[in-house]
Amino acid sequence: MSQLLTFVISGTEPDTVAGIGAALAASGRARLVSELHEPAQIHAEIVRQRPSTAIIVLSDSPEPELALIRQFAAEFPETMFIGASADASTDLILTSLRAGAREFLRLPINTDELEAILQRAAEYSRLHTPAKPTKRGRVIAVFSNKGGCGTSFISSNLAVSLGTPTVLMDLNLQAGDLGFFFHVEPKFSIADLIEHQTRMDDELLGSLLTPYSPNLSLLPAPTDVDAAVDVTAGHVLQTLELLRERYEYVVLDLAHTFDEITLAALDQADDILLVFTLDIMTVRSALRVLSILERLGYAREKIHAVVNRWSKNDVELGRPQIERLFGNRSVYLVPNDYRVAVNSINLGQPLVESRPTSAISMEIMRLSVALGGVAEEKAKAKISAHLSRRAALEVAKLDRLPGGNANEKAETNGHKKTEGDGSPTQPPERWNKHLLSLFFRRS
Ligand SMILES: Nc1ncnc2c1ncn2[C@@H]1O[C@H](COP(=O)(O)OP(=O)(O)OP(=O)(O)O)[C@@H](O)[C@H]1O
Ligand SMILES: [Mg+2]
């Protein structure tokens, strides 16, 4: 297919300019973006339109137009300048070429000559148009091979907290429930996107996604089970390509099985968040998932462990122990707070928005910062303000103890020293026997 060139034409005689415009339109290969009769306007117009070609009609005393060509050809190398005149003397042609014009258009226009010039203009444009950098948005896959661990809760809150154009896509195709988490009723799903994929443009894509906020759009699973069955790994691949060219992040809420859809998504992911809870069966199966992911050849840096519903009172495993258990990967501990979590889901209000300083939100924001979310500075400030408030509260508590100096109490009253996030820095004395055996099997 030949390339459609964009033109501005500048000349003091309106009829001449209109004649050139008509010939270009008749060629079917050019789109006229402006006809200018004031040479003074041409600079602003080129800046605004960035045309592939500018035709400057040379007057009987052509020095002002030649001066324009001289100046602009150097300033706008991606635009090809063409001098045009009824005076086709060798002198004028040479002077205009020396000023920086690449072609000379003889007036009145000869169709064959125009065709040859358009051909060369297309070639010029191909060589001089800077290649658009293809955007590669970051794909974050959120996965758990057990249902109910909080995959949707984590992925929805993470998607909000990234603070930059993001799509949250529900790939739990048979049991997706994304809309609930945001109190929205999406009209379209991934099935509609697939149906229109061949004629997709930004506008159509925008209309098929469900906007939640200026930075977040949702792509839910189909409500119709048959439509869900028709989605293939190839569709997932195409959809991800499409989305990551236009958005900074694509967050995937995955199903809990290693089916072809999940595998296609994991293949594309830049980061895989393995979500699990700290009960013995779930830890065991998370470790199994980890070894499957390793066998599938995924880079170890792309896999992050996210413990959900973590409570240091229930299980005496802190961050360092879990990090060792999961092969020294970065570990995120999202605290357990059922009332707060379930409330946010029931109201359809992501917690990182409705309760940004809750302990759950803080850890999800920490995760978002680690994944490069652009709300980084804001989130960092929030996190450190929160942690210093918490530290101050701890100190105040200790100071209230009889005869108490906070530091001494921390060491002498049987309080374990804690890191800023409250996890013990020393290995706990009493570990769950099963977890202990798992731990030593891996280390
Ligand atoms: N940090 C948390 N603290 C307390 N409760 C939580 C936490 N995270 C999630 N929950 C609760 O766990 C339940 C399951 O969460 P969610 O729907 O996100 O899990 P899922 O893994 O996506 O489940 P499904 O198998 O349905 O896909 C919800 O009721 C939610 O309120
Ligand atoms: Mg879910």
- Ligand 2 centroid distance, CA of 280 (Å): 21
**Pocket of ligand 1, beta carbon within 6 A:** 144, 147-153, 172, 256, 308-309, 334, 336-338, 341-342, 345, 360
Prediction pTM value: 0.64
Q: How far is CA 97 from the centre of its chain?
A: 45
- Ligand 2 centroid distance, CA of 14 (Å): 65
pLDDT at 437: 53
Indicate the class that CATH gives domain 5-128: alpha beta
pLDDT at 397: 53
Q: Name the CA dihedral angle for 203, 209, 215, 220, rounded to a multiple of 10 degrees.
A: -160
Where are the domain boundaries for CATH 3.40.50.300 in the chain? 138-394
Mutate to test the pocket of ligand 1, among 338, 339, 340, 363 (most ligand atoms within 8 A of CB): 338
Closest residue CA from atom 9 of ligand 1: 150
pLDDT at 18: 94
User: Is residue 110 a contact partner of residue 82, using CB atoms and an 8 Å limit?
Assistant: no
Where are the domain boundaries for CATH 3.40.50.2300 in the chain? 5-128
Q: Report the amino acid identity of residue 230.
A: D
Of 254, 247, 240, the C-alpha closest to 211 is: 247
Kindly list the averaged pLDDT for each block of 10 residues, start to end, along the chain of length 443: 78 94 91 87 86 95 95 92 96 95 96 94 88 83 95 97 94 89 92 82 86 94 86 89 92 95 94 93 90 90 94 76 83 94 94 91 92 70 63 54 39 36 37 48 45
What burial class does residue 348 get, using C-beta atoms within 10 Å of its C-beta: 0-12 exposed, 13-18 middle, 19+ buried? middle
Closest residue CA from atom 12 of ligand 1: 150
- Ligand 1 centroid distance, CA of 221 (Å): 18
Q: Which atom of ligand 1 is nearest to the CA of 156?
A: 18
pLDDT at 177: 86
pLDDT at 268: 92
pLDDT at 324: 85
For tokens 């001289």, the residue is 70
Closest residue CA from atom 30 of ligand 1: 342
- Ligand 2 centroid distance, CA of 150 (Å): 7
- CATH second-level architecture of 138-394? 3-Layer(aba) Sandwich (3.40)
* Helical H segments across 28-164, by residue range: 42-49, 63-75, 90-99, 111-128, 151-161
